[in-house]
Chain A
């Protein structure tokens, strides 16, 4: 039975670069996939494209492609990525420039376009998960991108693409596309597509299945995280899956690392909604068959819903923040005094905030006061953050924290402040017929 080997070269936009090179060199791969789009990333990329029409794709695309294109060409490894973000065609053109610069001719690069549905969604009564409609957000809306499926990726590969660059494709679809192209899986073979989604789900966060984000010594020690190896999925034509990694790289693949990633960002494991299928992970089995080789079986699936999720990016005011540290005897008491002073100052000076938080990092910032009650920290960090309607108003928050230097409790140090506009994300569901994807093929 045929098997294909798919490597995961990145699990998020800023991920390490050299593990992908190691995979391309020594992974005996057929495909190398880079998953680089978070919930908000497309909205931010859309902002970048508005400023410069040639921009709007992943900021690390150039560095990643420079690092892997030559070795992928030499080893016959095809690349699939969502680094196109808000501008897949621009990303394809940038990739062509890199290929030519590296002396790689006749490299076929496909851009998958059509996930951008802003013009169709803007001003409509499309309902949002946060309540209200797209129309209700008015001119605060900056982007609307549909999570597209594996179909156009598989089609681009079947047309001979060496590199496929998408925008807001669903993360597992980046892996399901190659499987459909490789094995000719029917697009209504729901159990098989469910198995393919599981492969994609386990691989899409790269190092999170090979021991990254897992270490918790002494209960869960992991060796050599500075050289963490990224995963390889060996997928058989019948959907049977083994997760492994390059021999000698850092981290490990065990039943435990696979189980943690299996449930990562999953709600009902029997109904994991994807563009191509409703995947069912509820009866999956995980088995260590050799060191760093874990066999995963039992995934299934049911018919897709015909609906696609759309992420709507919208301007949501400004957040200002300031921090300052206190240490030694009485650190927490001085930190709490500092918080009270800032709270009073923001009120006295009339800073208008719709929401605010006053944290003592080291005591209560992550889980509230209850969980840290028995704990007297040697050092604490005061953190005040608030939401305001304007940049200037939001900036006042950090400025008030900074003035604690000369006006607040003794020994405050390391003050820091920042102000940013918030692009928030709401989601909606649209009929898949509203989203028309297309492929643009260019060649170096």
Chain B
């Protein structure tokens, strides 16, 4: 199962920092997301894209996680050479994250 099967996501940018939300389609899946979509897994998934810290904020009231990635926009939106200087497409990369099937838990 991919993260995309149970969650949706949007990326925002401020300077050289990207934030990527992970929102359960069904709020009942929040604890499952919280268990499997960890700081360590997100950092490993993005590999060299993120040069700074990865921080996770938890929002149980809406069944969502918010990841903040510093040093993720190649110097920041206003000066980056990147094709996607805002990092808008990073949410789509995160949604390819592999998750265990819930039945196997």
Residues of A that sit less than 8 Å from B by CB: 39-40, 129-130, 213-214, 216, 219-220, 256, 259-270, 281-286, 298, 316, 319, 355-357, 359, 361, 365-368, 370-371, 383, 385-387, 422-425, 427
Q: Could you tell me the distance between the alpha carbons of A361 and B83 in the complex, rounded to whole angstroms?
A: 9
Assess whether B76 is in contact with A285, with CB atoms less than 8 Å apart. no
**What count of chain B residues pass the 8 Å CB interface test?**
38
Task: Look across to chain B and name the residue whose beta carbon is closest to the beta carbon of A270.
Answer: B57
Measured CA separation A267–B54 after assembly (Å): 11
**A370 in contact with B47 (CB, 8 Å):** yes
Query: Total A-B pairs in contact (CB under 8 Å)?
Result: 115
Report whether A260 and B83 are in contact in the complex, using a CB–CB cutoff of 8 Å: no
The reply to whether A425 and B93 contact each other, CB–CB distance below 8 Å, is: no
Bound CA–CA A365/B25 (angstroms): 29
Please judge, given known A-B contacts A265-B19, A367-B49, whether A425 and B78 are in contact too, CB under 8 Å.
Answer: yes
Q: Which residues of A contact B63 (CB under 8 A)?
A: 259
Within 8 A of A (CB), among B80-105: 81-84, 89-90, 93, 96
A residues less than 8 Å from B25 (CB atoms) = 256
A219 to B15, CA, bound (A): 31
Residues of the B chain whose Cβ atoms lie less than 8 Å from the Cβ of A130: 76
B8 touches A216 (CB 8 A): yes
Partner of A263, one of B55, B64, B78, B89: B64
Cβ of B41 within 8 Å of any chain A Cβ, yes or no, is: no
Distance in angstroms between the alpha carbons of A376 and B14 in the assembled complex: 34
Q: Which residue of B lies closest to A311 (CB)?
A: B78
CB distance from B89 to the nearest CB of A (A): 5
B68 within 8 Å of A by Cβ? yes
Chain A residues within 8 Å of B15, by CB: 39, 129, 425, 427
Contact with A along B49-85 (1 / 0, CB 8 A): 1000001010101111010100000001111011110
Select one of B23, B59, B76, B89 contacting A425, CB under 8 A. Answer: B76
The answer to whether A265 and B76 touch across the interface, beta carbons within 8 angstroms, is: no
Which residues of B approach A to under 8 Å, CB–CB? 4-5, 8-10, 12-15, 17, 19, 21, 23, 25, 47-49, 55, 57, 59, 61-64, 66, 68, 76-79, 81-84, 89-90, 93, 96
Residue of A nearest to B18 (CB): A265
**In the complex, what distance in Å separates the CA atom of A361 from the CA atom of B89?**
13
| Cα(A280)–Cα(B57), bound, Å | 13
CA–CA, A357 to B74, complex, Å? 11
Interface pairs (15), CB distance under 8 Å: A39-B15, A130-B76, A220-B8, A259-B21, A259-B64, A266-B66, A284-B61, A298-B61, A316-B78, A357-B82, A367-B89, A385-B81, A422-B78, A422-B79, A424-B76
- Scoring B13, B57, B82 by chain A CB atoms within 10 A of each residue's CB, the highest score goes to B57
Q: Which of A267, A269, A365, A387 contacts B17 (CB 8 A)?
A: A267
A316-B79 CB under 8 A given contacts A260-B23, A267-B68, A284-B61: yes
Residues of B within 8 A of A284 (CB): 59, 61-62
Question: Which of A129, A260, A361, A365 is B8 in contact with, Cβ under 8 Å?
Answer: A260
- Report how far A380 CA is from B25 CA in the complex, Å: 34
In the complex the two chains form, is A424's CB within 8 Å of B83's CB? no
Q: Which residues of chain A come closer than 8 Å to B21, judged between CB atoms? A: 259-260, 263-264
The 10 closest A-B pairs by CB, nearest first: A265-B12, A263-B21, A424-B79, A260-B10, A425-B78, A385-B81, A424-B78, A264-B12, A365-B83, A40-B78
Q: Which residues of B contact A40 (CB under 8 A)?
A: 77-78
C-alpha gap A427/B8 in the complex (Å): 31
Q: How far is the CA of A220 from the CA of B25 in the complex (A)?
A: 10
Q: Is the CB of B81 within 8 A of A355?
A: yes
How far is the CB of A307 from the nearest CB of chain B, in Å? 16
Complex interface: chain A residues within 8 A of B49 (CB): 367-368
A270 to B68, CA, bound (A): 14
Residues on the B chain within 8 Å of A425, using CB:
15, 76, 78
Known contacts: A284-B61, A383-B83, A387-B81. The answer to whether A263 contacts B48 by CB under 8 A is: no
Once bound together, how far apart are the Cα atoms of A433 and B9, in whole Å? 39
CA distance A240 to B57 in the complex (A): 24
- Kindly state the separation between the CA atoms of A285 and B62 in the bound complex, as whole angstroms: 6
Interfacial chain A residues near B76, Cβ < 8 Å? 130, 424-425
CA distance A268 to B65 in the complex (A): 11
Residue B93 contacts which of A283, A285, A367, A422 (CB distance < 8 angstroms)? A367
Contact residues in B for A359 (Cβ distance below 8 Å):
83
Distance A216 CA – B23 CA, assembled complex (angstroms)? 14
Contact A267 B48 (CB under 8 A): no
- On whether the beta carbons of A219 and B89 are closer than 8 Å, the reply is no
What is the chain B residue whose CB lies nearest that of A261? B10
- Shortest Cβ distance from residue B73 to the other chain A in the assembled complex, whole angstroms: 12
Q: A263-B66, A283-B61, A285-B62 are in contact. Are A357 and B78 (CB under 8 A)?
A: no
